[in-house]
Amino acid sequence: MLAGIAVGFLFRRWKIRFIHGLILTLIWLLLFLLGLEIGSNESVVSQFPRLGLQAFLLATGGTVGSVLAAWGLWLVANKKSANE
């Protein structure tokens, strides 16, 4: 990635619009390969409900935690601007 940043900076005068299309295509390809790998792994397929539940718990925990942190900053920021 660092090599990419360097290359991108060096060639910043060029118009490289195709890079965003390339990123998207690579993401598609990767997710397709990931799906293929998961699908052909029988032990993962048979545990899908359990893995899904764990994923749901982690997603909820992470989201709630970050929302509460943002709420804290929101309250502090508003209090300060009210005092000013």
Partner 1 sequence: MKGSLIILSFFATGLLLGVMRWLPPQLLSHNAGFYVLCALMFAVGVSIGHDPSSLRQFKNIQPRILLLPFLTILGTWLGVLVVSFFIKNRSLTDCLAVGSGFGYYSLSSILITQCKGIELGTIALLANVMREILTLTLAPWMVKYFGKLAPISAGGATTMDTTLPIITRYSGQNYAIVSVYHGIVVDFTVPFLVTMFCSL
| Per rule CB under 8 A, count of chain residues that contact partner 1 | 67
Using alpha carbons, select from 57, 81, 61 the residue that is nearest to residue 69: 61
Shortest Cβ distance from residue 58 to partner 1 (Å)? 4
Residue 79 in the binding site for partner 1 (CB under 8 A)? no
Torsion of CA 56, 58, 62, 68, to 10 degrees: 70
Using CB under 8 A, which of 77, 82, 83, 84 touches partner 1?
77
Q: Which residue stretches of the chain are H helix?
A: 2-10, 18-39, 42-46, 48-83
Residues in touch with partner 1 (CB under 8 A): 1-12, 16, 19-20, 22-24, 26-41, 43-45, 47-48, 51-52, 54-78, 80
